[in-house]
Structure 1
Amino acid sequence: MKMKYIINLIYSIIIIFPAICFSERNNDFWRITTNVYMEIEEYQGQRDAYKNKVYDKLSTVGKLALTNPESLWRFNLEHRESLRNHGRNFGTSRDSYLRSRTQLDITKQFIKTPKTDLEIGARYRKESNDSPPETKVRSSSSLYALTPAGNYHFNDQWSFNFWLSYYYYSNYFNNNSHEAETEFGATYQHSDNLKAKLTFYYDKAWDKNFSTRFLQSQIRAYLPFTLKSNWHITPYIRYAIQEDTYDKHFYLVQKINNGFRLGTNIEYQATPSLTLWGGVAYEPSTWKNPKENGATSGNSNKQTLYIGKIGVKYLW
């Protein structure tokens, strides 16, 4: 099954690549960036009867970006194949199932001055049907999104940054039909090689009647810095303020008691065109109630999430 979704990813890149290359036939400064990577997510809670892990996910992702310094437009295409697995330590089993997702983003810049920039992006995402074995199969779903984003520079050191996304889900397997997600805050630039960023993150989802089904808020901090001009490192932390889930009767069924994520992303600029990159994260949390599939353990309902990524970017 792993080989199948890797082959599907390669086919998707092969299909879209000639169409994007066509735009460069006149050497009009359009450039293509490819980003291929693998992502591992491991959830640790209780163990099953065979002492296996409860849940993990292995994803292979391919991205294509089309950009032009002289254009107000940019385009991004992403295809993801995720193997979701219960209890077999990243190996396929009767409990494994596959989800595929293809996403297209189109962004236009509306304002670009020394102090201010503003852009608006549109997104379409198609996600495959999937479900664990011996459960009802879900039909495929679609997502439509609109995202304004921008920066305002108070001076050479301080700036305000934000992005705000609105999502509409069509035939989504969860009860969400609408969602709004935003992150905003301040960036301090100490030098060309060191920045600090502090933001507030907020996410809210509603059903088709605009009744709240999910609510989340976090404080996030980033410290990107550069070493020897070709190493770019971004440590970050997320602290959970609130994360609530509601049922169809608007009753609170799940609530985070405490949790945080500590991680870092690293990029190595091997050549002007080739970048090697990776990332790791650690996220412990405790919850009011036990989670499904034994994803929490103990009287305090603890859960630990580990994330790892490794990939290659290339500017053509």
Structure 2
Amino acid sequence: MKYIKGLILAIITLFPPITLSQLNNDFWRINTDTYIEIEEYQGQRDAFKNKVFDKVSMIGELNLRNPESNWRFALEHRESLRNYGRNFSMSRGSYIRNRTQFGSTYQLAQNETSQLSLNFTYRKESNDSAPNTLAHSSHSLYWLMPAASYQFNEKWSLDFWTAFYYYSNYHRSNNHEWEAQYSIVYQYAPKIKGILSLYHDRVWASGFTNTFSQDQIRGELPITINQNWRIFPYFRYYLSEHAYNSAQVLTQKIKKGYRLGARIEYNITPKLILWSGFAIEPTNWQYAKYNKITSGNNNKQTYYLSQLGVQYQWQ
């Protein structure tokens, strides 16, 4: 796989300078994460009426950080097989989309109670599509993401991030997007904390006509069980979601929906982590969705997510 070759090349290139600087702790730590991700929508079928997994992806991530530097870097490559047929076999409608992204984060300010950082990321995604269909939009994506946190005391803190996106497309007008999340963090005990967040997402077409809006309440409960086990249960609750066409006419609206999920980590060694994630997201919509992924009079839909991965700290 291309992303594996890229990770190996990066590690080989960076290993000599890292080794030379280890004595004073001024060296770059390399962390890799490789995982498989399966996304499925209830009821979806291919052209031959076979039940499909909507997307199966292989993802490779490489992260670089240095305690003595204000910079952090991240590289990700994803290969996604769409319309994965029954019994985990390819169907006649299967196709692959891939994307690669690179990001850098700079620590603008930091003290005992607060910190401020700025991230810039570039992503390139392919325009592959199902056989005998129009190609999906291939695009480049640029985003700028400031993030900040403030520690009120030993128990309470405030986290915040916001992101501004620009899509440069080949087959459609440019899009702009804004996301933000505000979080209150409570440290209940040394190994348990609670996070409650308010999340917003807005998308505009060229000319800044509104095409999509979403608001959610999100919660997390990271728990360290012992030196080997950690669990991160979470939930998302839809406050609203609306989609509009170019004439600003409402084309979709959520009636109700939520997501329940968790991530579980097991430390095999101090440097090697095996992890898994899963989630279920039932929703009801105003109108039926394409490819029969909604059903019934309430246009119900259920989304399933499962993940399995391995993290390794190289230095």
TM-score interval (norm. to shorter): over 0.9
- AA aligned opposite 1:178: H
Which of residues 6, 10, 29 is equivalent to 2:4? 10
The DSSP-based 3-state class of the residue aligned with 1:93 is: strand
CA distance in 2, matches of 1:184, 1:247: 29
Judge conservation of contact 1:266–1:278 (CA < 8 Å) in 2: yes
User: Match of 1:310?
Assistant: 308
2:213 corresponds to 1:219: no
Cα–Cα, structure 1 residues 48 and 120, in superposed 2: closer, same or farther, change >3 Å?
closer
Amino acid paired to 1:273 = K
CA shift, 1:10, in A, is: 2.2
CA 174–157 in structure 1, closer or farther in 2 if over 3 Å, else same: farther
Cα separation, 1, equivalents of 2:172 and 2:259: 25
Q: Aligned to 2:93, what secondary structure does the other structure show?
A: coil
Instruction: Output aligned runs, 1:74-85, within 5 Å.
Output: 74-85=72-83
Work out the CA distance in 2 between the residues paired with 1:58 and 1:22.
Answer: 36
TM-score (norm 2): 0.93
1:19 to 2:13 alignment: yes
1:235-267 deviation per Cα after TM superposition (whole angstroms, max 9, x unaligned) = 001000111110011100001111000000111
Counterparts in 2 of 1:272 and 1:46: CA distance versus 1, 3 Å = closer
- 2:35 aligned with 1:62: no
Q: SS where residue 10 of structure 1 aligns?
A: helix
TM-score normalised to structure 1 length: 0.93
Stretches (4+) displaced over 6 A: none
Alpha carbons of 1:84 and 1:74: their partners in 2 closer, same or farther (altered >3 Å)?
Answer: same
* 1:21 alignment partner AA: F
What is the deviation of 1:218?
0.3
> Residue 33 of structure 1 corresponds to which residue in structure 2?
31
Residue number among 84, 93, 112 corresponding to 2:110 in the alignment:
112
Q: CA deviation at 1:208?
A: 1.0
> Where in structure 2 are the equivalents of 1:137-156 lying within 5 Å?
137-138=135-136, 140-156=138-154
Map Cα deviations across residues 196-250 of structure 1 (whole Å, 9 max, x no partner): 0100000000001001100001000111111112211110010001111100111
Letter in 1 for 2:2: N
Structure 2 distance, partners of 1:309, 1:190, is 28
Hey, what's the Cα distance between the residues in 2 that align with 1:163 and 1:10? Answer: 30
C-alpha contact (below 8 Å) 1:45/1:302 kept by paired residues? no
CA distance, structure 2, for counterparts of residue 48 and residue 99 of structure 1: 17
Unpaired runs of at least 5, structure 2? none
What's the Cα RMSD here?
1.8
Contact kept in structure 1, 2:28 and 2:65, CA below 8 Å: yes
In the alignment, which residue of structure 1 is the partner of 2:286? 288
- Partner of 2:91: helix, strand, or coil? coil
Q: SS of the counterpart of 2:112? A: coil
Q: 1:212 to 1:116 in 2, by over 3 A?
A: same
Give 1:83 shift: 0.3
SS of corresponding position for 1:18: helix
Greater CA deviation, 142-151 or 165-174? Answer: 165-174
Instruction: Say if 2:44 and 2:54, in contact at 8 Å, map to a contact too.
Output: no
Q: How does 1:197-212 map to 2 (within 5 A)?
A: 197-212=195-210
SS of 2:241 mapped into structure 1: strand
Q: Is the 8 A contact 1:176 1:205 kept in 2?
A: no
Whole-angstrom CA distance in 1 between matches of 2:197 and 2:82 = 31
* Contact 2:77 2:99 (C-alpha < 8 Å) held by counterparts: yes
Shift of 1:96: 0.7
- Change in 2 beyond 3 A, CA 1:172/1:93: same
CA distance, structure 1, for counterparts of residue 312 and residue 250 of structure 2: 46
> C-alpha distance in 2, partners of 1:174/1:235?
38
**Percent of pairs with identical residues:** 51
Residues 269, 39 of structure 1: alpha-carbon distance in 2 compared, 3 angstrom cutoff = same
Q: What is the CA distance between 1:20 and its match in structure 2?
A: 3.6
For these two proteins, the number of residue pairs brought into alignment is 310
CA distance in 2, matches of 1:14, 1:315: 14
Could you say if the C-alpha distance between residues 173 and 231 of structure 1 is closer, same or farther in structure 2, counting changes exceeding 3 Å? farther
- Distance (Å, rounded) in 2 between the aligned partners of 1:122 and 1:22: 27
- The 5 Å alignment of 1:149-228 reads 149-171=147-169, 177-228=175-226
| Long gaps (5+) in structure 1 | 1-6
1:269 pairs, out of 267, 270, 289, with 267
CA contact (8 A) 1:56 1:89 kept: no
**Residues in 1 aligned to 2:79 and 2:306: alpha-carbon distance in whole angstroms:** 16
Distance 1:194 1:174 in 2: 46
Per-residue deviation, 1:45: 2.8
